[in-house]
Amino acid sequence: MNAPIIGQLSLSLSPFHFFHFISGFSFSYTNIMFYQIYFVGFYRKDPLQGDFPEVIEEYLQHGLMKCIAFNRRGTLLAAGCTDGSCVIWDFETRGIAKELRDKDCVAAITSVCWSKYGHRILVSAADKSLTLWDVVSGEKITCITLQQTPLLARLHSGSSTPSLCLACPLSSAPMIVDLNTGNTTLLPVTVADVDNGLAPPSRNKPTDGLPFTPTAACFNKCGDLVYVGNSKGEILIIDPKSIQVHAMVPTPGGAVIKNIVFSRNGQFLLTNSNDRTIRIYENLLPLKDGLMALEDLNKTLDEVAGVERMKVVGSRCLALFREFQDIITKVHWKAPCFSGDGEWVIGGSASKGEHKIYIWDRAGHLVKILEGPKEALIDLAWHPVHPIIVSVSLTGLVYIWAKDHTENWSAFAPDFKELEENEEYVECEDEFDLIPGTEKVKESDINQDDEVDIVTVEKDAFSDSDVSQEELCFLPATPCPDVLEQQDKCVGSSSKVMDSNNSGSPLSEEAEQNGQATNHASSPLEEDTGGTRMKRKRKPSEKGLELQAGKVGKPLKSSGRLSKLKSKPDTDLDIGNGMYGDGVSD
């Protein structure tokens, strides 16, 4: 009875998986047969599952890029560079749509953040500056200089034209910055053990002789609450207007929280701690009016006060959902985040010389490890809509990870038959008739007189934007101006222009490699000869100009001189009709 089962399993189980599985174990014959069944079921791929990236599709290169951020639709990708510029890529065409550059800022960019509808970008730099840009016009709206270098800056997530932002400096507590006035307000990062539960207004001085640890913070989805992760492993929920701590959630282990980020739908919160563990919390507060719900919770708890009251409120705000870690290698994680739909969690390895991306499902299973080049990973981002991951390496390159699609039509149509080679097929006489002889096609029930609405835009599943607010998804293409030196060379004289057209100069070759449009068309001679380098042509003589005028105006007269011209190839005669009037040289 067992022989057919074993033979069937041997066909579906690769030798590598089998020997890798039984190398460290010794089982009886029946146990091995049982674990073969389990192992094959674990490695078998479901075509409808596993919608995550697998291979590097391509890479982007422009200077030394350090940090990246997608807009809400994923059509534009902003990247901050070490030279102080912010490059906006059109992610559909993989081309540069705009470059934001401030001549006063030459320091490295530490973070970039899009506004809710993509009309503005906030850029923080290593020179302690916060710069707000208008994306369409490319003009600087405002620039604020802080006392400390901001490692992270986030715009208010609930406003279409935000005037407030959250900044996390290097050696100071997180602060709320008013971009209109430049005023800053420090957020509390510890809870004082007093009855009122209010934290001290600032934490600029070291505590217990220890150096200050940078603190992570982020807005919730609506922007009415700020979640701060401190060095004691606590998550504080703060009202950004009154600067009051309403709740506290202690994390297991009490390790320093390095990263804290919300999922796009606002239902889950992710923390990355120094104990090499990524934790996922479920948000129990409503997505809208979370501050009001938090105040109602505080009113119902009159029997406790102080820190204990904050812990009770915090337990009703966040619930620990999953923990992710590598128990064997004990990897430190860098730039963890959610997928666009919140079903996957990714984290980059912080080991030097490794470009590894770990992918877990929300149930806690490690489903994939992406291994890139031997370059350290410094930033990660998941596309808001598609299964695409974008990673930044220490060398300044941006790698695009996508799914390795293989066409398997039998997975969608069970009765589909794949052919390995062409086969002759004879169709029936009425196979493609609209009304076959055996049965008639059912008439359509659609009323042809009904009006079709082509104006209303349906709301997709991944978007929570307000339809009344116009969202910036694409930028108009602006041609790059020619370099001044190239213009000086081209404006010299008409003869120099003709020489540059007909000769394969390094300047024209460089322009072709860069994909820039030139101001002149390539001559037909270059096209016919495959773009080979030709000799320079002399300026046409008077007789040549007369022959050219005769060729264009009236048929050429037969003479010994003209017979020689006719014996030449047609390409030589076509030069006389070039864009710049190149004549036939004697």
d(CA 256, CA 228): 12
Measuring CA to CA, which residue among 495, 583, 494, 499 is closest to residue 546? 583
Sole residue written with tokens 């004990």: 330
Positive or negative, the Cα torsion across 28, 34, 35, 37?
positive
Q: Give pLDDT tens digits along the chain (586 positions).
A: 444 333 333 333 333 343 333 333 333 333 333 333 333 233 334 444 568 899 999 999 999 999 999 999 999 999 999 999 999 999 999 999 999 999 888 999 999 999 999 999 999 999 999 999 999 999 999 999 999 999 999 999 988 889 999 999 988 899 999 999 999 999 999 886 434 444 444 433 434 334 567 889 999 999 999 999 999 999 999 999 999 999 999 999 899 999 999 999 999 999 999 999 999 999 999 998 899 999 998 888 877 888 899 999 999 999 999 999 998 889 999 999 999 999 999 999 999 889 999 999 988 999 999 999 999 999 999 999 999 999 999 999 999 999 987 777 777 777 777 788 898 888 888 777 776 555 554 566 677 788 888 887 666 545 555 544 688 999 986 666 655 544 444 444 333 333 433 333 333 343 344 444 333 333 333 333 333 333 333 444 554 555 555 544 444 343 443 334 334 444 333 333 334 344 333 3
Residue type, 210: L
- CB 547 within 8 Å of CB 585: no
d(CA 250, CA 264): 23
Dihedral, CA of residue 236, residue 239, residue 241 and residue 242, to nearest 10: -90
Q: What is the DSSP letter of 194?
A: S
Give Cβ neighbours of residue 161 (< 8 Å, ≥ 6 apart): 115, 119, 120
**Coil, helix or strand at residue 499:** helix
Long-range contacts: 19-24, Cβ < 8 Å, 24+? none
Give the pTM.
Answer: 0.68
d(CA 183, CA 228): 20
- CB 347 within 8 Å of CB 324: yes
Pairing of strands 268-273, 257-262: antiparallel
d(CA 576, CA 552): 9
C-alpha Rg value of the chain to the nearest Å? 33
Tell me the backbone φ, ψ of residue 341, rounded to 5 degrees: -95, 0
